[in-house]
Amino acid sequence: MKRIVARPLTRENFADFGEVIDTNCDTHYPINAGKCERFHALAHCEATGPDACVIINIFKGTPYDFPLKLSMVERHPLGSQAFIPLSPRPYLVVVCPDTDDGPGEPHAFVTAPGQGVNYPRNLWHAVLTPIGENQDFIVVDRGGSGSNLEEFHFSHPYEISLPEGF
């Protein structure tokens, strides 16, 4: 089993896979007579196909044991999928580049507290993976007709480890 150690999630090291959603950005300004700060256009949602629309969900995730045995990834061909945590806890993000034979080697990231991610259409990714305790997320994705889920099962699982200190 090949071992992959997760690294911190940053805009720079995640740019090839999607968007990081957090308030560490330049796209913010005050609104509501200065009583609120708007962090604008942090991610771009996609929804294509029959009856497509963007929907908002709440997912209640249960933590996984580590090291994680990664045997399956999924992707959504008809829409993007954003995960925004409702608590200031880190979670694991695992993504794979697309190759002619399916997903390539996984890349693993640990979020900083409060960071979210937005996966574009067709990006291979692991399932929601909280670390240490239950965690709730707002999930923005596609609703509508048609099949918007593809799964890929690796012939040999990967072992995903958290960095020192977790």
For 150-164, what is each residue's pLDDT tens digit? 999 999 999 999 999
pLDDT (0 to 100) of residue 111 = 98
Residue ranges covered by each domain of the chain: 2-161
pLDDT band (50, 70, 90) for residue 84:
very high
CA–CA gap between residue 159 and residue 83 (Å, rounded): 23
Contact indicator for 64, 145 with CB cutoff of 8 Å:
no
Burial (CB count <10 Å: 0-12, 13-18, 19+), residue 99:
exposed
CATH architecture, domain 2-161? Sandwich (2.60)
pLDDT (0 to 100) of residue 165 = 85
CA Rg, the chain, in Å?
Answer: 16
> What are the pLDDT digits (tens) for 86-124?
999 999 999 999 999 999 999 999 999 999 999 999 999
CA–CA gap between residue 20 and residue 124 (Å, rounded): 16
Task: Of 160, 90, 146, 154, give the one whose Cα is nearest residue 124.
Answer: 154
Q: Strand pairing partners for 30?
A: 37
